[in-house]
């Protein structure tokens, strides 16, 4: 199957499918719940489960049951959600990967999160990221394209996730290996010291991001 967001010789489908398979399988209601949770969290404040239920015109009990069964949902002492699968409130999670959406400063769990989140949020993101060696990368990511990359030769380290490990500790087993680098040589030098990692261009990583989004959420993407 050919996608309009395919890039070069990278097997976008295989990488995206490998990522999607680490997430819980979602029915249509759960897809809508996931997207609404992302969108509410992007508002920059802790999200109550009642607010999620209200957006979905559902019961809090149903939302509770689903969220309590998902990994990757982080809450404060009042059970308000402060982090969810790649996106977190800046005050709740310190990260080298920062994005500004609708004027709100947010944290991403890894570099690649900043490439798939804008499409799910339906909003552009200004991204600032620091690589492990201290190099800075800045991007403007629109819902369907990367509009600006600085420096232009920036790259992304990547790792195929292990479902069992990700469900136990997604940050430690996946996110800590996915970074922006100012150039391919700096990325390759780092990847050589971290077995299992490989380097993608920003365009390739964004192609994987869009394929992941559409494989995971299908027709629900773009719904209000």
Q: What is the pTM of this model?
A: 0.92
pLDDT in tens, 191-222: 999 999 999 999 999 999 999 999 999 989 87
pLDDT in tens, 93-148: 999 999 999 999 999 999 999 999 999 999 999 999 999 999 999 999 999 999 99
pLDDT at 5 over 50: no
Contacting residues for 76 by C-beta, under 8 A, at least 6 apart: 46, 82, 92
Q: What is the mean pLDDT of the chain?
A: 92
> Chain-centre distance of CA 189, in angstroms?
24
Catalytic pick among 9, 11, 78, 113: 113
Give 108's strand partners: 87
What is residue 2's predicted lDDT score, i.e. its pLDDT?
A: 40
CB neighbour burial string for 104-143, b if at least 16 within 10 angstroms, e if fewer:
eebbbbbbbbbbbbbbbbbbbbebbbbbbeebebebebeb
- Report the alpha-carbon distance of residue 224 to residue 222 in Å, rounded: 6
pLDDT at 3 over 70: no
Instruction: Count Cβ atoms below 10 Å from residue 97 Cβ, excluding itself.
Output: 23
pLDDT in tens, 6-46: 445 678 889 999 899 888 889 999 999 999 999 999 999 99
What is residue 170's predicted lDDT score, i.e. its pLDDT?
A: 86
Catalytic pick among 54, 78, 169, 175: 175
- Using DSSP, state whether 127 is helix, strand or coil: strand
Query: Tokens 């395919």 correspond to what residue?
Result: 6
Contacting residues for 5 by C-beta, under 8 A, at least 6 apart: 12, 206, 207, 210, 211
pLDDT in tens, 38-76: 999 999 999 999 999 999 999 999 999 999 999 899 999
What is residue 56's predicted lDDT score, i.e. its pLDDT?
A: 97
> Which domains are seen in the chain, by residue range?
12-219 (3.30.450.410)
Give 74's strand partners: 83
Mean of pLDDT values over 164-174: 84
- Using DSSP, state whether 186 is helix, strand or coil: helix
- Report the alpha-carbon distance of residue 36 to residue 42 in Å, rounded: 10
| 175 tagged catalytic | yes
Query: Tokens 């409130």 correspond to what residue?
Result: 89
- Using DSSP, state whether 144 is helix, strand or coil: coil
Catalytic pick among 11, 110, 162, 169: 110
What is residue 223's predicted lDDT score, i.e. its pLDDT?
A: 65
- Report the alpha-carbon distance of residue 80 to residue 49 in Å, rounded: 7
Name the phi and psi angles at 203, rounded to 5: -60, -40
Q: What is the CA radius of gyration of the chain?
A: 17
Give the tokens for residue 41.
Answer: 């969290």
């Amino acid at each position: 199957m050919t996608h309009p967001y395919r890039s070069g010789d990278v097997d976008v489908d295989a990488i995206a499918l490998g990522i999607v398979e680490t997430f819980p399988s979602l029915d249509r209601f759960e897809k809508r719940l996931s997207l609404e949770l992302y969108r509410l969290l992007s508002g920059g404040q802790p999200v109550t489960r009642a607010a999620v239920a209200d957006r979905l015109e559902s019961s809090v009990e149903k939302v509770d049951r689903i969220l309590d069964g998902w990994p990757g949902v982080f809450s404060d002492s009042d059970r308000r959600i402060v982090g969810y699968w790649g996106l977190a409130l800046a005050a709740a999670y310190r990260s080298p990967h920062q994005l500004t959406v609708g004027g709100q400063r947010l944290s991403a769990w890894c570099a690649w999160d900043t490439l798939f989140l804008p499409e799910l949020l339906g909003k552009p993101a200004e991204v600032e990221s620091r690589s492990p060696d201290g190099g800075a990368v800045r991007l403007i990511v629109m819902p369907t394209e990367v509009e600006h990359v600085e420096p232009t030769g920036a790259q992304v380290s990547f790792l195929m996730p292990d479902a069992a490990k990700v469900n136990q500790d997604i940050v430690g087993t996946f996110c800590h290996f996915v970074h922006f680098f100012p150039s391919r040589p700096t990325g390759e030098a780092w990847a050589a010291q971290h077995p299992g990692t490989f380097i993608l261009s920003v365009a390739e990583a964004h192609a994987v991001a869009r394929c992941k989004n559409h494989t995971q959420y299908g027709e629900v993407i773009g719904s209000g």
